[in-house]
Chain A
């Protein structure tokens, strides 16, 4: 238990020391948020609702990004640097290492969600019942699991350059097609039709429902679970294949 705590604490510390993380996961979402609610205000009907809606999008965008990129890249780098090999000579088990990584990442997410919610709330004076803030935050936290699994899958890649390129690409594609940067209604018809099969859309949509006083849809939850399972199976398979050599 103490090992888990140490490992998790250090992991969180390492994430905060990473400049890319600070830029992509904290500064970018807040800058976007200010830009789309203060500078380039679109005509989206109820402006108060839009401000809340976009805040959820930004928090989801940030957490999804650090799940895919930070975790995946960390795993690749640590394997390439040989730290993972060194750990195999110590009494710490692979499972503890992995769980600690996830837990560290999750504590970082709690922090980013709080920062983004607070700054968004202050910038646009958003008021929501406490229960909505909390459930939306919880949703964004827990709904990130498929993206953590995707990070784990990216973590099985050999080269860190490939991993960083691929994860950037996937991240941006997911953000755009999930309607995190622009409301779905402004997107091409075709995309709107397939949107419900896109994990990032379902992830953000859950939070959008919550701030509208609704529960996240069952289909959305099932889609996210399905992606989690697929990503996990793929990464377990890849790990097996790599270990066999």
Chain B
């Protein structure tokens, strides 16, 4: 498989403060990469450098071996930037037609509306009158307008409701099956599992993880056991559960653990008066807080 995106020892600093440090990775054709990291990790900065919107302070980025600013490259990429960016005083249909006109082989209007779930009434609405989630759909439609081989999506689902999110990821999977190379950022772990074939994780501007979603999940996916109890047990009761964290909140007890199966076995062996036991996978936020809590390596 050929390397499509090549990010070579890229760094960026703003007024002496570094936002991205010595970042190197390659993306192959058809890969779907989730770029993760807490707020301020440098994800958006990285995406903007990949797109040539921002000049790296050091290092170099190529797309298909070319400068990302070249017209030939731009004809093949689709982009959703973190803040929704639309032209005002035009209808959705007009803006889509305009942008489709920029590309040599645009996607048909029918395909665009199908993939983005835009209905006839939003097509005829002025962009400034759309809700946040609708704007996000239009922004997705703009990204797809040129029938791109590569998609760069910076927090694409922010502001979308559950239905919009579902349509969105369904379309992303369809595009991935067609061989579209995709890089997206998100703060939701379930979105990573749904779509990504590879996970990159950044913290403080550095790449700290390059793994498959399964590996990632194992490594970071703290599991959370919670249950209700009427009896007031002291925290020490749960000590043998190999938990990393125990929270007691009135009747509700939450236990964070790396191995829920093991912990549950011990929990039941204790024969406590507990009910409504549930096991959830930890969220990215928890993973991030683990990162930020861990001592910095310099």
A residues near B71, Cβ cutoff 8 Å:
91, 93
Q: Are A90 and B146 in contact (CB under 8 A)?
A: yes
Contact string against B for A residues 16-50, beta-carbon threshold 8 Å, 1 for contact and 0 otherwise: 01100000000000000000000000000000000
Flag whether A10 is at the interface (Cβ < 8 A): yes
Q: Are A83 and B99 in contact (CB under 8 A)?
A: no
B residues near A86, Cβ cutoff 8 Å:
79, 81, 85, 142
Q: What is the interface of chain A mostly: helix, strand, loop, or mixed? A: helix
- A residues 77-121 near B (Cβ < 8 Å) are 77-78, 81-83, 85-86, 88-93
Flag whether B58 is at the interface (Cβ < 8 A): no
Flag whether B255 is at the interface (Cβ < 8 A): no
Q: Known contacts A14-B89, A83-B87; decide if A88 and B53 are in contact (CB<8 Å).
A: yes
Flag whether B51 is at the interface (Cβ < 8 A): yes
Q: Are B94 and A10 in contact (CB under 8 A)?
A: yes
Q: Are A13 and B90 in contact (CB under 8 A)?
A: yes
- B residues 184-225 near A (Cβ < 8 Å) are none
B residues near A92, Cβ cutoff 8 Å:
102
Flag whether A6 is at the interface (Cβ < 8 A): yes
Q: Are A91 and B98 in contact (CB under 8 A)?
A: no
**Other-chain contact of B74, A13, A82, A90 (Cβ < 8 Å):** A90
Q: CA of A92 to CA of B51 in the docked complex: distance in angstroms?
A: 15
Flag whether A51 is at the interface (Cβ < 8 A): no
Smallest CB separation, A166 vs chain B (Å): 21
A residues near B273, Cβ cutoff 8 Å:
none
Flag whether A2 is at the interface (Cβ < 8 A): yes
Q: CA of A18 to CA of B71 in the docked complex: distance in angstroms?
A: 33
Flag whether B65 is at the interface (Cβ < 8 A): no
B residues near A81, Cβ cutoff 8 Å:
85-88
Smallest CB separation, A7 vs chain B (Å): 7
- B residues 73-107 near A (Cβ < 8 Å) are 74-75, 77, 79, 81, 83-90, 94, 97-99, 101-103
**Other-chain contact of A89, B74, B84, B89, B94 (Cβ < 8 Å):** B74
Q: CA of A77 to CA of B86 in the docked complex: distance in angstroms?
A: 11
B residues near A83, Cβ cutoff 8 Å:
85-87
Q: Are A3 and B102 in contact (CB under 8 A)?
A: yes
* Interface residues on chain A, number (Cβ under 8 Å): 22
Q: CA of A214 to CA of B101 in the docked complex: distance in angstroms?
A: 46
Q: CA of A88 to CA of B98 in the docked complex: distance in angstroms?
A: 15
Q: Known contacts A17-B89, A81-B85, A83-B85; decide if A6 and B97 are in contact (CB<8 Å).
A: yes
Q: CA of A162 to CA of B75 in the docked complex: distance in angstroms?
A: 36
Q: Are A18 and B89 in contact (CB under 8 A)?
A: yes
Interface centre among B85, B90, B103 (most CB of A within 10 A): B85
Q: CA of A102 to CA of B190 in the docked complex: distance in angstroms?
A: 47
Q: Are A7 and B98 in contact (CB under 8 A)?
A: yes
Interface centre among B53, B74, B75, B87 (most CB of A within 10 A): B87
Q: Are A10 and B98 in contact (CB under 8 A)?
A: yes
Smallest CB separation, B251 vs chain A (Å): 48
**Other-chain contact of A82, B77, B85, B97, B152 (Cβ < 8 Å):** B85
Q: Are A85 and B53 in contact (CB under 8 A)?
A: yes
Q: CA of A2 to CA of B100 in the docked complex: distance in angstroms?
A: 11
Q: Are A90 and B99 in contact (CB under 8 A)?
A: yes
Q: CA of A13 to CA of B95 in the docked complex: distance in angstroms?
A: 12
25 residue pairs A–B, Cβ–Cβ below 8 Å: A2-B101, A3-B102, A6-B101, A7-B98, A10-B90, A10-B98, A13-B94, A14-B89, A78-B87, A81-B88, A83-B86, A83-B87, A85-B81, A85-B85, A86-B142, A88-B52, A88-B53, A89-B51, A89-B81, A89-B152, A90-B74, A90-B99, A90-B103, A90-B146, A91-B102
Residues of B within 8 A of A (CB): 51-53, 71, 74-75, 77, 79, 81, 83-90, 94, 97-99, 101-103, 142, 146, 152
10 A-B pairs closest in CB distance: A82-B85, A89-B79, A86-B85, A91-B74, A14-B89, A92-B102, A91-B75, A6-B101, A17-B89, A90-B102
